[in-house]
Chain A
Amino acid sequence: MDKFSVFSARLVEKGEYFTSGHRACQGCAEALAVRLVMKALGRNTIVAMATGCMEIVSSPLPTTAWEVPWIHVAFENASAVISGCESGMKAMMRKGKLPPKKINFVAMGGDGATADIGMGQLSGALERGHDMIYVCYDNEAYMNTGIQRSSSTPWGASTTTSPAGKVSKGQYTQKKDMPKIAIAHNIPYVATACPSFPFDLMDKVEKAAAIEGPAYLHILSVCPTGWRIPSEEAIKYGRLAVNTCVFPLYEYEHGEYSLTYRPHPILPVREYIEGQGRFRHLGSEDIDSIQERTRMEYEKLVKLSEED
């Protein structure tokens, strides 16, 4: 195992920076992902958050779930806001207006904020090279407004704006590949993660924080409400997404791909698809086509990581 991690829960940061009492739905894996990200980042962090589930559940005035400095301005601009925090502090520290301090500048948004409305601003921030981390919590639809499709919704998923019907199989487009788009900016670090694999996730957050320059993390965040699964099964479905290779865990570090987890055996996607209400209208041949595409995408990724 070349990427050595100590899998010991006792070594994980005890402090909570995204605290309990927030109003996320029961079984929300996104809230768990935020909690793990914050544990890995620690106290010296400033968070700029896009409008969305996590913003709404964590900040009803006059309460807050945040134990670190946190700012929300609008839906599409978390990456620009954190650019301002980073550059503003850099100038003030250089000019002696603030004592020097190593701070993690972190923008967070859902898949809508990242892959749709905030895409241009994210691209701008990555291209400018700010010392920042962008974390996309991907629950594969606009869950906050009531499960509308985004460009990150997978093919075949029924949402409130891509409903399955007599002449519709739900979402008719393929999921936008955000990590690849981030990689196209030639930034030093990109990784995928899932809170069902908490140590892998926290390792990647720590690495993103240690690297100078922009880093992008894409975290699959199972949404029981939107995916129409029992709330106690969010972790299970996260594992299934990874073990079926629907959502492979990998890193791209200074130009090199590596898979951080290789499922063995690879489970059939049927196990992931069946049981999710959003896919229940799909027939056998639909699932077969998802299986085929999943296999091809995973093989491409394996090839990329072996080339490196």
Chain B
Amino acid sequence: MAKERKGIEVSLAIAEAVGQADCDLISAYPITPQTHIVEHLSEMVADAHLDAEFVPVESEHSAMSVCCGAAAVGARTFTSTSSQGLALMAEIFFIASAMRLPVVMALANRSLSAPLSIWNDHSDTMMVRDGGWIHVFVENGQEAYDHVFWAFRVAEDPAVRLPVALNIDGFIMTHMIEPVDFEDDELIKRYIPEFRMEKPLHPDNPVSMGCFAMPEIYSEAQMTRERALVDSYATCVKAWEEWAAVTGRQYHPVETYRADDAEYCIVTMGSLGETAMAAVDELREQGEKVGVIKIRLWRPFPFDDLYRAAAGKHTLIVLDRAISFGGPGGPVALELRSALCNSPQAPVVVNYVAGLASRDVTVEDFKAIILGGKAKSAEGDVAGFTFYGLRG
């Protein structure tokens, strides 16, 4: 493929990127709203547009298991799922990272049952937050396309060797037709070198993978995993810098909008960031000193980037798209509260939960959330969370 701008459905752009990355094996099971990604990949394989094995399995649990087997022999591996599919594969999700198998997954974020809902929020990805994967959130079609390459580049880096979940808001992004700048194949080939696993499963050099551990060594194995994930931060940033050098599109672990002199910042993850920016523009016109902080890299958590972004702010108003039932709030707010609690002049964190199951969070809603958060902060009403826009 040559460099060109196309109007394309985001799911198809993701599939095309997997093709450009010369993926060897794709294994998936259909679930809305991930389907267009894998449908297009199977078409690409059927048309010999992509030379890969497409393994159409009987469950998501098998999809992740097939990917583990393929990554273990050194193949470049991709899967995609959503919601219940992720819940079903969760067992193997945790094992993939523990075994350092660099699977790349497009996670089309969708609500968890029950009640059954095919629409978008972040309850699925928050369920596997502690699964040891690198998690990145994207905001539009271009970012989704770019981050497929970034995901392979980071996952397969010998210093990292961890699976990467590319979080894309279901429907809101997967089913949108957007302009996307495609890069040419040669550039991609240079950006992601051929995957060379040091010790794949091969009869020429037998290794045992997935041995069981007694308590004497289990803790050390977990610590190795923790270090690998924390240390992957450097590669994540380096891979973004290299991408910027060749494409001009620069990404950061935490990104801000009109936040430099802001006193109040709304914190978002995923596709709602653009709506939040529009709301901030309108509030700025009314003289409110407000800005946006967007978290792109969710794991490893970018503590220093967050401290820099939060420095000098009076209040952070965190918009969560999932609930930690029975706990003190949404998962993003919890993370920020614990990350910031010991920093000097830590900003106040106010938490709203909104946008569950794709319920619209409009510019007007954002304005109400930001101003509501400001008022709550002034009143000292900052514990727990507020369910925004709840009926009845």
Q: A interface vs B, CB < 8 Å?
A: 43-46, 48, 55-56, 59-64, 66-74, 76-77, 80-92, 94-95, 97-98, 101, 103, 120-121, 123-124, 127-128
Smallest CB separation, A133 vs chain B (Å)? 15
Kindly provide the distance from the CB of A184 to the nearest chain B CB, expressed in whole angstroms: 15
* B212 A91 Cβ-Cβ under 8 A: no
Binary A-proximity of B30-69 (CB < 8 A = 1, otherwise 0): 0000000000000000000001110111110110011111
Q: For chain B residues 178-213, which have a beta carbon within 8 Å of chain A?
A: 194, 201-203, 205-213
Distance from B357 Cβ to chain A, minimum over Cβ atoms (Å): 29
Given contacts A43-B203, A81-B69, contact A64 B75 (CB under 8 A): no
Q: Which residues of A contact B67 (CB under 8 A)?
A: 84
In the complex, the chain B residue whose C-beta lies closest to that of A76 is B61
Q: Is the CB of B73 within 8 A of A92?
A: yes
Complex contact B75–A89 (CB within 8 A): yes
Pairs A–B under 8 Å by Cβ, sample size 5: A80-B66, A84-B75, A84-B77, A92-B74, A92-B75
Known: A69-B207, A92-B73, A95-B51. A77 touches B25 (CB 8 A): no
Known: A80-B65, A85-B73. A91 touches B52 (CB 8 A): yes
Roughly how many angstroms separate A90 CA and B58 CA in the complex, as a whole number? 20
B92/A74 in contact, CB under 8 A: yes
**Bound-state Cα–Cα, A62 to B210, Å:** 10
The answer to whether A88 touches B74 (Cβ under 8 A) is yes
For the complex, give the distance between the alpha carbons of A300 and B62 in Å.
Answer: 35
Q: How far is the CA of A40 from the CA of B206 in the complex (A)?
A: 17
> Which residues of B are found within 8 Å of A77, using beta-carbon distances?
61-62, 65, 92
**Residue among A56, A67, A91 having the largest count of chain B Cβ atoms under 10 Å:** A91
Contact of A120 among B58, B69, B205 (CB under 8 A): B58
- When distances are taken between beta carbons in the complex, the residues of chain B under 8 Å from A97 are 24, 74, 194
Check A60–B52 contact: CB distance below 8 A.
no
Chain B residues near A60 (CB-CB < 8 A): 211-214
Q: How far is the CA of A97 from the CA of B195 in the complex (A)?
A: 10
Highest count of chain B CB atoms <10 Å: which of A68, A90, A120, A124: A124
Bound-state Cα–Cα, A60 to B27, Å? 30
Measured CB to CB, the nearest residue on chain A to B57 is: A124
Q: Are B25 and A87 in contact (CB under 8 A)?
A: yes
B70 contacts the other chain (CB 8 A): yes
- Complexed CA–CA distance, A70 and B213 (Å): 16
Q: Supply 20 further A-B pairs (C-beta < 8 A) apart from A45-B203, A121-B58.
A: A46-B202, A46-B203, A59-B212, A60-B212, A61-B214, A63-B211, A69-B205, A71-B210, A73-B99, A83-B57, A84-B65, A84-B66, A84-B72, A85-B201, A88-B71, A91-B25, A91-B51, A103-B203, A120-B59, A128-B56
- Which residues on the B side are within 8 Å of A56 (C-beta)? 212
Given contacts A77-B62, A84-B65, A123-B58, are A61 and B221 in contact (CB under 8 A)? Answer: yes
Taken residue by residue from 70 to 85, chain B's Cβ proximity to chain A (1 for < 8 Å, 0 otherwise) reads as 1111110100000000
Docked pose: A92 CA to B55 CA in angstroms: 14
A50 to chain B, nearest CB (A): 11
Given contacts A60-B211, A71-B209, contact A88 B24 (CB under 8 A): yes
Chain B residues in contact with chain A, CB under 8 A? Answer: 24-25, 27, 51-53, 55-59, 61-62, 65-75, 77, 91-92, 95, 99, 194, 201-203, 205-214, 217, 221
Measured between beta carbons, the chain B residues less than 8 angstroms from A83 are 55, 57, 62, 65-66, 69
Contacts A62-B211, A97-B194; A81 near B68 (Cβ below 8 A): yes
Looking across the interface, which residue of chain B has its beta carbon closest to that of A82? B69
Task: Please tell me if the beta carbons of B55 and A84 are within 8 angstroms of each other in the complex.
Answer: yes
| Residues on the A chain within 8 Å of B52, using CB | 91
CA distance A89 to B74 in the complex (A): 8
Alpha-carbon distance A81/B68, docked complex (angstroms): 6
B residues in contact with A62, CB < 8 Å: 211, 217
* Minimal beta-carbon separation of B122 from chain A (angstroms): 26
Contacts of B69 in A (CB 8 A): 48, 71, 73, 80-86, 88
A91 to B59 Cα, complex, angstroms: 22
What chain A residues lie within 8 Å of B221 (beta carbons)?
61
Beyond A69-B202, A73-B99, A91-B51, whether A84 also contacts B25 by CB under 8 A is yes
**How distant is B198 from chain A, measured CB to nearest CB, in Å?**
14
In the assembly, what is the distance between CA of A92 and CA of B53, in Å?
9
Distance of B356 from chain A, by nearest CB (Å): 31
B24 contacts across to A, CB distance below 8 A: 88, 91-92, 95, 97
The smallest C-beta distance from A58 to any residue of chain B, in angstroms, reads 8
How far in angstroms is the closest Cβ of chain A from B255? Answer: 36
Q: Which of B194, B210, B214 contacts A73 (CB 8 A)?
A: B210
CB distance from B68 to the nearest CB of A (A): 5
Contacts of B217 in A (CB 8 A): 61-62
Contact partners of B194 in chain A: CB under 8 A: 97
Min CB–CB distance B213 → chain A (angstroms): 5
| Set of chain A residues within 8 Å of B71, measured between Cβ atoms | 84, 88
